[in-house]
Amino acid sequence: MRVALTSESALLFLSTSEAALVDAIAARIIPGDDRDPGAREARAYLYIDRALDGAYKHYQEFYRRGLAATDAFARAKVGDRFVSLPPEVQDDLLRAMEADQATGFDLPSASAFFLTIRGHVIEGVFSDPAHGGNHDCIGWKLIGYPGTQYEYTAEEMRPGADLSQKPIMTLADLQRTIRERGPWGFNGTSGEGATRGPGGRR
């Protein structure tokens, strides 16, 4: 089990064992390691836990049943809990779930559960860190996305512009900077050539 809970990552809905299972599934959906981070390093499980206690409350029973069925399928198929299995075996089980060939699922079906958790893992990797995932902006760094910017220069708005060197800003960064410097020209510019505010108004 790779989930290590801290005061910042205390669970709101998932049990510790459920969080470990979500983390293990996420680690196979977007694999990674310390040098090339993926969903585990981005703490996608924490995004899902937060969402299940908030906007995705209607998925609570769906997850409880789906996670229990995933572990039951792993035990029936290979005789051990999903989190204890080698990555290649976990991949085989997830492929069976995606193809709706896994046994022991009812509501949700195996494919419905896999596709839902896959979508939520992706959200957890690429959403703003304020929502619990995308730790250290791992997902944004992966795709060269600079985050929640208040303004872009005309050059930066051109198709194909490379924004990978632009300092990443999270919602928290943006809010702090606006408080410190005011809403205009907070990137240290006079505002010339920048698009600002809704609809590009200055």
Residue 185 zone, left/alpha/beta (φ > 0; ψ -120 to 50; rest): left
118 and 182 share one domain: no
Is residue 66 in a domain?
yes
184 and 86 share one domain: no
19 and 91 share one domain: yes
30 and 116 share one domain: yes
| Backbone φ, ψ for residue 12 (5° rounding) | -105, -30
**Which residues span the domain enclosing 163?**
151-200
The whole-number average pLDDT for the span 59-67 is: 98
In the structure, what pLDDT confidence band is assigned to residue 23 with cuts at 50, 70 and 90? very high
pLDDT at 9: 65
Distance CA 14, CA 18 (A): 6
Q: Which residue has the tokens 């996305």?
A: 145
Has residue 180 got a pLDDT over 90?
A: no
Calculate helix-pair angle for 110-126, 44-52, nearest 10 degrees: 110
List, for residues 86-102, the tens digit of each pLDDT value.
999 999 999 999 999 99
Distance CA 201, CA 130 (A): 27
The tokens describing 116, both together, are: 């839902």
pLDDT at 195: 42
CB 116, CB 98: distance < 8 Å? no
List, for residues 182-195, the tens digit of each pLDDT value.
655 555 444 444 44
Q: Which residue has the tokens 């669970």?
A: 11
The whole-number average pLDDT for the span 138-159 is: 88
**First-to-final CA distance of the chain:** 51
- Report the number of distinct structural domains present in the chain: 2
In the structure, what pLDDT confidence band is assigned to residue 73 with cuts at 50, 70 and 90? very high
Is residue 40 in a domain?
yes
pLDDT at 4: 56
Segments in the chain forming alpha helices (H): 16-29, 44-52, 60-78, 87-98, 110-126, 138-143, 171-181
132 and 175 share one domain: no
CA 117, chain centre distance (Å): 10
Q: Report the chain's C-alpha Rg in angstroms.
A: 20
In the structure, what pLDDT confidence band is assigned to residue 40 with cuts at 50, 70 and 90? very high
DSSP code at position 57: G
In the structure, what pLDDT confidence band is assigned to residue 60 with cuts at 50, 70 and 90? very high
Is residue 145 in a domain?
no
